[in-house]
């Protein structure tokens, strides 16, 4: 699979994003209907685990704070409290997914931002990279 995260292209990836040593985001296409599926652990700035989404279905969603809207080729995860988009993603082609934008906290409380121009966490900004993930997860520390 190819993931486009901001202006970064990651080829030959499993669709998993390991953030600071923890699998936090997983994007995949459903086997039967090619529905874009998101698995994500959502934390707040204080490192509290406040929601868990598994293949577009809530395992838990503290105070019903988050909403996901989907259609087969796109999805948007929104914080209803702040109106911010946590993850917006879309299918661009066969085995090609783009994370259009996003803003989430990691399990360590650091902010991860995805914008069309970059992917940023802490003091690290990735922009314009072309990376081969050799079939594994994408990792950022």
For 108, residues 6+ apart whose C-beta sits below 8 A from its C-beta are 20, 47
Residue 78 in contact with residue 90, Cβ under 8 Å? no
Beta-sheet pairing, 2-5 with 124-126: unpaired
33 or 86: which leads in pLDDT: 86
Most confident of 16-30, 43-57, 120-134: 43-57
At residue 140, the pLDDT reads 77
CA distance 113 to 125: 9
* pLDDT classification of 131: cutoffs 50, 70, 90: very high
User: pLDDT tens digits for 61-92?
Assistant: 999 999 999 999 999 999 999 999 999 999 99
| pLDDT score of 19 more than 90 | no
Residues in the chain: 141
Q: Which residue has the tokens 């499993």?
A: 14
For 81, residues 6+ apart whose C-beta sits below 8 A from its C-beta are 65
Average pLDDT of the chain is 94
At residue 83, the pLDDT reads 97
| pLDDT score of 129 more than 90 | yes
Q: What is the dihedral of CA 3, 1, 70, 83, to 10 degrees?
A: -20
* pLDDT classification of 139: cutoffs 50, 70, 90: confident
pTM: 0.93
| pLDDT score of 29 more than 90 | yes
CB atoms within 10 A of CB 68: 18
């Amino acid at each position: 699979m190819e993931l486009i995260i901001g202006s970064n292209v990651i080829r030959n990836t499993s669709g998993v994003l390991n953030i600071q040593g923890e699998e936090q985001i997983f994007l995949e296409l459903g086997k039967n209907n090619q529905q874009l599926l998101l698995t994500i652990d959502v934390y707040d700035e204080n490192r509290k685990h406040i929601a868990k989404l598994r293949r577009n279905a809530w395992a838990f969603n503290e105070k019903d704070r988050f909403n996901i809207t989907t259609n087969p080729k796109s999805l948007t995860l929104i914080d209803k409290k702040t109106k911010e988009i946590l993850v917006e993603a879309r299918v661009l082609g066969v085995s090609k997914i783009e994370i259009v934008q996003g803003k989430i906290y990691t399990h360590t409380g650091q902010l991860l931002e995805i914008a069309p121009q970059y992917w940023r966490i802490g003091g690290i900004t990735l922009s314009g990279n072309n990376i081969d993930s050799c079939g594994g997860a994408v990792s950022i520390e």
